[in-house]
Amino acid sequence: MQTTIQYRDKVYMANLDKPIDISIPLRASEDNPVAWYLGAPEIEPVQLGDWTGSVAAGASTNFNNIRFNPHAHGTHTECAGHITREFYNVNDVLKRFFFIAELISIQPEPMGEDLVITKTQVETALHGKEPEAVVLRTLPNDKGKLTQKYSHTNPPYLEEAVAVYLRETGVKHLLIDLPSVDREKDDGKLLAHKAFWNVNEKIRLDATITEFIFVPDTVPDGSYLLNLQIASFVNDASPSKPVLYKISGEIGDR
């Protein structure tokens, strides 16, 4: 099935028959990826007296409680409300769900004890393109990201200048395969978050950051149609399911 999408006076065609899911599923398992010093998610049958919400235990339905943290346990999309005193929730601020996205792959550079993604790297990888969304895959890239325990490991992060550059070029949605765009322990500075959302000036409430994605090596860098799906959580962040669709090419002007 083919569909067309318009962006900046250009019309593109995308193939919807071959979705590329770049989310990490939430599992009640020690194999689930974890960050921010928490344990694994929990998915357990409800217990009401002698009744257990499990067909295997004799109930007519499976009826589970789920305990998890969107930021710590898998793919999630967050809005500026993640770092503001005022309450903003991602369900209200994200009103469009399809975007032209550019997938880029970058190997973070050593800076002291850190690994950092720099503005020069991102600017070079984008080749002058100004998409609505950028999907950033870090290198090396392997399936270990699907089960990684990130707490106290100082993962790679973005330098502040990257977030400023993306904001200034009009990127509204940033997706990355790390637990955060900022340094794990930065004394609450959150420089990349603040710069991307422009919280100290005219805050970008319609911009989002999606963390904890995974893009397989079989998916080449380039332009895609992004479907950014979230659950309807009234919260600063929601578990999400970003899906890419290959763009077969630009088919003309509007």
- 243: in domain: yes
- 118: in domain: yes
Query: How would residue 254 be classed by pLDDT, with cut points 50, 70 and 90?
Result: very low
In percent, how much of the chain has pLDDT > 70? Answer: 98
Three-state DSSP at 103 gives strand
Q: Which residue has the higher pLDDT, 168 or 13?
A: 168
Least confident of 25-29, 39-43, 137-141, 246-250: 246-250
Residue 165: domain span: 2-25+70-253
Check whether 252 has a pLDDT greater than 80.
Answer: no
Q: In whole numbers, what is the pLDDT of the chain averaged over residues?
A: 95
Domains contained in the chain, number: 1
- 48: in domain: no
- 83: in domain: yes
Cα distance between residue 82 and residue 193, in whole Å: 9
Query: How would residue 6 be classed by pLDDT, with cut points 50, 70 and 90?
Result: confident
pLDDT tens for 71-86 read: 999 999 999 999 999 9
Residue 196: predicted pLDDT: 98
Output phi, psi for 117, to 5 deg. -90, 125
- 138: in domain: yes
Q: Exposure pattern of 203-240 as b/e (b: 16+ CB <10 Å)?
A: bbbebbbbbbbbbeeebeeebbbbbbbbeebebbbbbb
For residue 145, the domain's CATH number is: 3.50.30.50
- 55: in domain: no
- 59: in domain: no
Residue 101: predicted pLDDT: 97
In this prediction, residues 198-223 reach a mean pLDDT of 97
pLDDT tens for 20-75 read: 999 999 999 999 999 999 999 999 999 999 999 999 999 999 999 999 999 999 99
First to last CA, the chain: 21
The amino acid at residue 131 is P
Cα distance between residue 44 and residue 188, in whole Å: 34
- 111: in domain: yes
